[in-house]
Structure 1
Amino acid sequence: MRRVFISGGHGGLARAIVECFSAAGWETDAPSHAVLDVGDRSAVRRWFDCHAAYDLAVCAAGITRDRPFLKQTEEEWDEVMNVNVTGAAWCGRCAAAAMVREKREGQVVMIGSYAALRPASSQAAYAASKAALAGLVKSLAREWGKDGIRVNLVLPGFMLTEMTAVLRDSVKEAALSRHVLSRLNTPEQAAAFILFLQDVLTAASGQVFDLDSRIV
C-alpha cells in the first residue's frame, strides 16, 4: 500500500488530503501540531526515524502572525519562519532521505501561498516565509532529481478553512473580487490536484502550481 505523510494534520487542507488519498487506497499519516511540532527538528527526525519511507510527503503545516512589520515582535517572526520554512524544509529533508534510502523514488509537495506573489499589508512574515519555499523547492528538485525524488510547490488558493475563517468578511470579499472566475477553490479540489500531481504528472518537478484564477 502506498503511504503519504501530511504535516499540519489538524488543518482543513490536510484533512481534505487525508480523505482524498484514503479514498484512493492510500495509507495516511497526518499528525497534528499536538502530535508533531514541525518547528522542533529533533521531533521531526524522530518521527521519520520511526516510520518506513513514504511515497509522498505533503508539507502543509503553516501559521500566520499578521501584524504591521514595525510592530511585529522578534518572537512572532521567528515562529512563522520556524514553522513555515524550517519545518517544511526538515520534513522534506527527512522524508526524502528515507525515500532515497528505501525506494529511490518519491515526491515532496510543499504548500505555498498566493501571498508570496501578492501579499497583503501586514503579512511580511507570512509572505516572506511562503516566498522562501519557491527557492527551496527549485533547489531541492535539482539536488534530488538524480535520486528519483520530485519536489513541487502547490499554491492552493484562497480557501474557506479555519485559517481564513477569522478574517473579516470585507477581506474575504476583496480576495474573491480578484478571482477572474469569481469563485474559490475548496480544500477537496486542492487535495484532488495533489493526487493528480502524484499519479499523473509524474515528470513534473521543481514547479510552482498556482491553482486559483487570480492573475499575477
Structure 2
Amino acid sequence: MGRVFISGGKGGLARAVAARFSAAGWAVDAPSRAELDVGDCSAVEEWFAGRPAYDLAVCAAGVTKDRPFLKQTEDEWDAVMGVNARGAAWCARCAAAGMLREGREGQVVMIGSYAAYRPAPSQAAYAASKSALEGLVKSLAREWGKKGIRVNLVLPGFLLTDMTEGLRESVKEAALSRHVLGRFNTPEQTAAFLLFLQEVLTAASGQVFDLDSRIL
C-alpha cells in the first residue's frame, strides 16, 4: 500500500481516517496536536524532514474560536488562521516536497467546511480560514499537476464528533434541517471516500467534493 499523514490525529474525523487506511494496509502517521502543532511552521518542517515521503497527506487539523467579529481578539483570529489555513498550507508544502524528493506521485487532501460557503453568524475567522483552502487547492493543483501530485478539497459535512459534541441540540437540529436527505454524514463514510479518492479517483485534482446533502 502506501504511507499516509493525517494532521489533527486525535480528532473524530482523523481517527476514522486512520482506522480506515490502517485496515486497508497503509502505514499511518496521525500526530495529535501535542505531538505536532501545525500552527508552528518550524515544527511541521521538522516532522516531515525526519520521515520518509508520504503518498497521501490529509490536512484535517482544525480549530474554532467562534465569536462576534467585533469582539474577536487578534490572538483568536491568528490562532484560527494559523492552524486552519497556514497549517494546512505548510503540511501540504512539506508533504509535496517529500514526494518530489523521492520522485513519487501523491496527493494532498485538505478538509474544508460548509461554513466557507454558508457561514453562521460569529464564524468570521473560521469561515475565512476554510475559504482560503479552496484557492490554495486550485493553485497547488495547477502548480504540482505536471509533477504527478494531486490536490483536492473535501467538505465532510456536519459530523457528530468531539468538535460538535458541545453544541446545543437546537444548533444540531438546525444544521440537520438544511440536509435535504435529513441525515448527517459520518466520519467513517468520509474516511471511506478518502480511501476511494486516493485509490480509485486517480485522475481527480483541483476539485471540491461536498459529501453531505446541504446544497452549496
Do these two structures clear the TM 0.5 threshold for a shared fold by scoring above it? yes
Displacement of 1:166 after TM fit?
A: 1.1
Displacement of 1:183 after TM fit?
A: 0.3
Q: Report the equivalent of 1:148.
A: 148
CA RMSD of aligned residues (A): 0.6
Q: Report the equivalent of 1:133.
A: 133
Q: Report the equivalent of 1:189.
A: 189
Q: Distance in 1 between matches of 2:205 and 2:148?
A: 10
Q: Report the equivalent of 2:160.
A: 160
Q: Report the equivalent of 1:70.
A: 70
State the one-letter code of the partner of 1:132: A
Q: Distance in 2 between matches of 1:87 and 1:76?
A: 15
Q: How many residues align?
A: 216
Displacement of 1:27 after TM fit?
A: 0.5
Q: Distance in 1 between matches of 2:103 and 2:177?
A: 45
Q: Report the equivalent of 2:29.
A: 29
Q: Distance in 2 between matches of 1:159 and 1:151?
A: 23
Displacement of 1:65 after TM fit?
A: 0.2
Q: Distance in 1 between matches of 2:57 and 2:159?
A: 21
SS at match of 1:205: coil
Q: Distance in 1 between matches of 2:184 and 2:58?
A: 22
SS at match of 2:214: coil
8 A contact 1:100–1:148 mirrored in 2:
no
State the one-letter code of the partner of 1:54: Y
Q: Report the equivalent of 2:4.
A: 4
**Is structure 2 residue 137 aligned with structure 1 residue 124?**
no
Q: Distance in 2 between matches of 1:89 and 1:172?
A: 30
8 A contact 1:81–1:125 mirrored in 2:
yes
SS at match of 1:120: coil
State the one-letter code of the partner of 2:137: V
Displacement of 1:101 after TM fit?
A: 1.4
Q: Report the equivalent of 2:212.
A: 212
State the one-letter code of the partner of 1:89: A
Q: Distance in 2 between matches of 1:173 and 1:112?
A: 21
Normalising by structure 2, we get a TM-score of 0.99
Q: Distance in 2 between matches of 1:130 and 1:39?
A: 15
SS at match of 1:13: helix
Poorly superposed stretches of 4+, deviation over 6 Å:
none
User: How many percent identity over aligned positions?
Assistant: 80
Displacement of 1:100 after TM fit?
A: 1.2
State the one-letter code of the partner of 1:214: R
Normalising by structure 1, we get a TM-score of 0.99
Q: Distance in 2 between matches of 1:75 and 1:42?
A: 19
Displacement of 1:104 after TM fit?
A: 3.1
SS at match of 2:143: helix
Q: Distance in 2 between matches of 1:159 and 1:90?
A: 25
